[in-house]
A and B are shown apart, each in its own frame.
Chain A
Amino acid sequence: MTQSNAKTRFVNGFKNGVRRIKDLLNRVRSAARKTQAAPPEAVAAALADYQAALVEAGRGSEDDFLRLGRELEAIYADVNDLVAETLTTIRRTAGNDAGAEESVLVKIDGLVRRSLEDLNRRRGQVSGRLERIDAVGKRLKGLDRLCSAMERLAMNLRVVGFNIRVESARSTDSQDMFGVVSERINRLSDNVGRNAGQIREDVRDAADRQLAAGEGISLGLKRLDGLASGASAAVSGSVRDIQTLMSGALSAIEGAETHLIAISRQIGEVVAGIQIHDSMSQRISHINKALEDAAALCAPDAGGELIRHGEVDERRFTAAHSIIELQIAQLRRIISDIETGHDATQTAFDLIREEIQGLAASLLDLKTDTAGDLSGEEAARDPFESLRTDLLGLRDLMTEASDLVDRIQETADAAVATTERLEGHMTEVDGIGFEIRMIALNAIIKAAHLGETGSALEVVAQEVNILSDETNRFVDRVKGVLDGVVKQVRELDVNGTGKEEERAAGGAADLASGIAEVAAAYDRFRDASARILGRAGELESEIARTLSDLGFLPSLCHELSKLLERMEEIAAMLRPRIREDLRSSVDEVNRLTERYTMRLERGVHRQLLEDAGPSPPDPERPPEERKKSPETDELGDNVELF
């Protein structure tokens, strides 16, 4: 026990001894430092000079920030104009511009589809004509057979006429009475035979012409089928080109809108960056007030009489030094924030420039040769050029088809003219029928007058009557066939009237006008694209100028860095006079928190003093503890609606 107490006493005595030696050494060192330290008045004067320089640095940059704001406003206005012009150009081209007249593309789409329908309808009509011409041909063949029957009838009449002449020769009375009849029958027989021959000749001529017309139409129809197939391909090509343009336009519109959203986001970054001036000004103001406190602590009249070597002074200098160190940290943070803001603003402008390039390039989504220097395969992929080529091809096909239909019409007209001649025979055939009936009646009456002597002639007269009936039947059949042929041929003519030709001419004119509209739209698009690309280039130059104007931010950082060095030098002036062991007991530093208006300032304060002593209370609720409505949450952490 005694040994243990002795040991404890020895340890304590040793510790006290060490402490005394350390204290002595501290005093010696402190005395040595104080002999090298600047006078406190010099520190206070340096702080006063410094404050003026810091205020000047903060104020000096305001004009630069305001100029940046004006440049941003101008750029955004130009961007909006550019986007509006780009969207208008695309919408006008694609034709989905609200309130605009029917778009060129939609109009062309309808036009090419109608053209194909017209062509197919006309092909159907031509095909119908061919069928009618075939039908006329068949009827004409029937007429040819009737002509043979008529010729046989003429022969029979001649035989009957001969018989009458033979029988009437038996008596003078008979001869007187039937000589004329016989002559009339012979003349009629000649007439019937001549008519039959003439009709046959005309029928064969008409049939040949109809056949030729039919062959011509048939060949034309085959050619028309080829044209229709080509036109169908041209229409499909045109529709595909239109769809490509429409789809390109849609994607270009979506692209332009995406670029605008991205630009707006970057504008937002610059807007936030510009606000650093306000934050910097407030923080510099707080630094200045803190430095005033530090200067007051160093001034000879701060605490009454200055005791240069007492502990009271050491505590005051330590407090002043801590305040300055804290302001060094605050200023360092301001410089860092400006550097970050500069980088963010520079990046934002770079991204805006890229988005503007993308916006202008969105016009190229339409895959048009805006620069006019595409050639070969590249030009072939240009849907505008391709559409124009397809439309030109379609117009040529339609013109060719129209010419072909005209030629078919001419053929049909010629066939009609030939067949009309057959109509003239109907009167003559009618006359023959009437005359033979008159002769038959006359012969029967005369035979009756002759009584018994005329009995043989009566038989022959009855024969004439039978032939008359037969002739009338033939006449009716010939008339019926001729009538049918003429009607059918006239129908051919009716179906090919000028209305169709007008429509065909109208279709070709519409296509020509459509091609002109496409060309005009293309020219407008090219002009607008060139203008937009030019404006985009100007805007890029404007942004490049603004980017070079951002140089004031590094200059500001440089200026503040020099002020930071000066503040560090001032702190160094005080350092020999401070006592590390007193740092935790200075209240002046924690009182600074009352001036803070920003989370940033409190954060810097807390971080610096974390190890030096108790942290100041946090007057802000951590974000996770804030009770916010979901609606307010959407607005962001820095927004609270009451």
Chain B
Amino acid sequence: MAKRIMTADDSASVRQMVGFTLKQAGYSVVEAADGREALDAIAASPVDMLITDLNMPGLDGIELIREVRKDPQCRFIPIIMLTTESQEGKKKEGKSAGATGWIVKPFKPDQLLAVVKKVLG
């Protein structure tokens, strides 16, 4: 059964490219346009991995990670921040919140797939 990965990003074009990349590799992809939508979708149906943007309206990426980590079912799922942000302070914040890794946009498909493969094992 295909692993289910959620991509949370307020940019439709980024969601589209993440979805395109992951679907080509055989993953099942769920999209959310912001943190709140992502949280609701995960609560309804758990995912195997979360790829989230940092700056999103409503609930931002860091908050989303904190909320997701509160769910015992999601305590150990890989969470990758996919963002234009590259500040060390933000990365530390993301790491403290429970992020597994950080990818600075723009990403290349083989790069994203290598990360996904690595963290999903």
Chain A residues within CB distance 8 Å of chain B: 62, 65-66, 69-70, 72-73, 76, 80, 264-265, 267-269, 271-279, 281-282, 597-599, 619-621, 631, 634-636, 638-642
Q: A62-B13, A274-B13 are in contact. Are A76 and B89 (CB under 8 A)?
A: no
What residues on B are CB-neighbors of A73 within 8 Å?
Answer: 16, 20
Q: A271-B109, A638-B104, A642-B101 are in contact. Are A619 and B88 (CB under 8 A)?
A: yes
Residue numbers in A under 8 Å from B24 (CB-CB): 76, 80
Q: Min CB distance, A140 to chain B, in Å?
A: 83
In the bound assembly, the distance between CA atoms of A72 and B115 in angstroms comes to 22
- Contact A638 to B103, CB < 8 A, known contacts A271-B109, A619-B89: yes
Docked-complex contact B17 and A275, CB < 8 angstroms: yes
Tell which of B34-42, B44-52, B79-87 binds the partner. Answer: B79-87
Q: How many whole Å from B14's CB to the nearest CB in chain A? A: 5
Among candidates B13, B55, B86, B101, residue contacting A282 with C-beta atoms closer than 8 Å: B55
Report yes or no: B13 in contact with A631, Cβ–Cβ below 8 A.
no
With A272-B108, A277-B13, A635-B115 as known contacts, state yes or no: A598 contacts B86, CB within 8 Å: yes
Contact of B101 among A272, A599, A640 (CB under 8 A): A640
Report yes or no: B20 in contact with A282, Cβ–Cβ below 8 A. no
Judged by a CB distance under 8 angstroms, whether B54 is at the interface is yes
- By a CB distance below 8 angstroms, the chain A residues around B121 are none
Q: Is the CB of A279 within 8 A of B118?
A: no
Beyond A65-B13, A69-B16, A271-B17, is A598–B106 a contact (Cβ under 8 Å)? Answer: no
Verify B20–A271 contact, CB threshold 8 A: yes
Closest residue on chain B to residue A68 by CB atoms: B13
29 A-B pairs whose Cβ atoms sit less than 8 Å apart in the complex: A70-B16, A72-B20, A76-B24, A267-B109, A271-B17, A271-B20, A271-B108, A274-B16, A274-B17, A275-B13, A275-B105, A276-B106, A277-B11, A278-B13, A279-B105, A282-B55, A282-B84, A597-B54, A597-B87, A620-B87, A634-B114, A636-B111, A638-B105, A639-B102, A639-B103, A639-B104, A640-B103, A641-B119, A642-B95
13 additional contacts (CB under 8 A) given A62-B13, A282-B55, A619-B88: A66-B16, A70-B16, A271-B107, A271-B109, A272-B108, A278-B84, A278-B105, A597-B84, A598-B85, A636-B108, A639-B103, A642-B95, A642-B99
Q: How far is the CB of A517 from chain B (nearest CB, A)?
A: 36
Which chain B residues border A62 with CB–CB below 8 Å? Answer: 12-13
| Contact of B107 with A631 in the complex, beta carbons under 8 Å | no
Q: A278-B105, A281-B11, A641-B119 are in contact. Are A597 and B20 (CB under 8 A)?
A: no
Collect the chain B residues with CB atoms within 8 Å of residue A279's CB: 84, 105-106
Interface contact B95-A268, CB-CB below 8 Å = no
Q: Which residues of A contact B86 (CB under 8 A)?
A: 598-599, 620, 638
- Chain A nearest Cβ from B100, distance in angstroms: 6
B28 at the A interface (CB under 8 A): no
Known: A279-B105, A282-B84, A620-B86. A641 touches B13 (CB 8 A): no
Cβ A642 vs Cβ B111 within 8 A: no
- Whether the Cβ atoms of A639 and B13 lie closer than 8 Å is no
Residues of chain A with a CB closer than 8 A to B71's CB: none
Per the CB 8 Å criterion, the residue count for chain B at the interface is 38
Docked CA distance A65–B106 (Å)? 15
Residue in B17, B87, B107 whose Cβ sees the most chain A Cβ within 10 Å: B17
* Interface residues of A, dominant DSSP: helix
* Chain A, Cβ-Cβ closest to B88: A621
A534 to B79, CA, bound (A): 44
A641 proximity list for chain B (CB < 8 A): 100-102, 115, 118-119
Give B89 Cβ to nearest chain A Cβ, in Å: 6
Q: Give the complex CA separation of A69 and B115 in angstroms.
A: 22
- For B88, give its contact among A80, A273, A620 (CB under 8 Å): A620
Which residue of B104, B106, B118 is within 8 Å of A631 (Cβ)? B118
Q: Which residues of A contact B4 (CB under 8 A)?
A: none
Within 8 Å CB of A638, what residues of B? 86, 103-105, 107, 111
Alpha-carbon distance between A278 and B12 when the two chains are bound, in angstroms = 9
Report whether A272 and B106 are in contact in the complex, using a CB–CB cutoff of 8 Å.
yes
Q: Of B21, B83, B95, B108, which contacts A597 at CB under 8 A?
A: B83
A120 vs B31: C-alpha distance in the bound complex, in angstroms? 71
On chain B, the residues within 8 Å of A620 by CB distance are 86-88
The reply to whether A597 and B85 contact each other, CB–CB distance below 8 Å, is yes
Q: Chain A residues with Cβ under 8 A from B66's Cβ?
A: none
A65 to B88, CA, bound (A): 30
Q: Could you say which residues of chain B place their CB within 8 Å of the CB of A80?
A: 24
Proximity string of chain B (1-38) to chain A, C-beta cutoff 8 Å, 1 when within and 0 when not:
00000000101111011001100100000000000000
Contact check, A69 vs B84: say whether CB atoms are below 8 A apart: no
Residue of B with least CB distance to A596 = B87
In the complex, A264 Cα to B11 Cα: how many Å? 23
Distance in angstroms between the alpha carbons of A268 and B24 in the assembled complex = 12
Bound-complex Cα distance A268 to B118 (A):
19
Are B119 and A275 in contact, with the CB atoms below 8 A? no
Return chain B residues, CB-CB under 8 Å to A640: 91, 101-103
The 7 closest A-B pairs by CB, nearest first: A275-B106, A638-B104, A641-B101, A278-B11, A272-B106, A619-B87, A268-B108
The interface centre, meaning the residue of A80, A631, A635, A639 with most chain B CB atoms within 10 A of its CB, is: A639
Q: How far is the CA of A119 from the CA of B91 in the complex (A)?
A: 79
Contact between A69 and B20 (Cβ–Cβ < 8 Å)? yes
| Chain B, residue nearest A265 (CB) | B110
- Residue contact A275 to B14, C-beta cutoff 8 Å: yes
Closest A-chain residue to B78, C-beta based? Answer: A641
Q: Is the CB of B109 within 8 A of A639?
A: no
Q: Are B101 and A639 in contact (CB under 8 A)?
A: yes
Residues of chain B within 8 A of A274, CB atoms compared: 13, 16-17
CB B121 to nearest CB in A, in angstroms, measures 13
- CA A65 to CA B15, docked complex, whole Å: 12
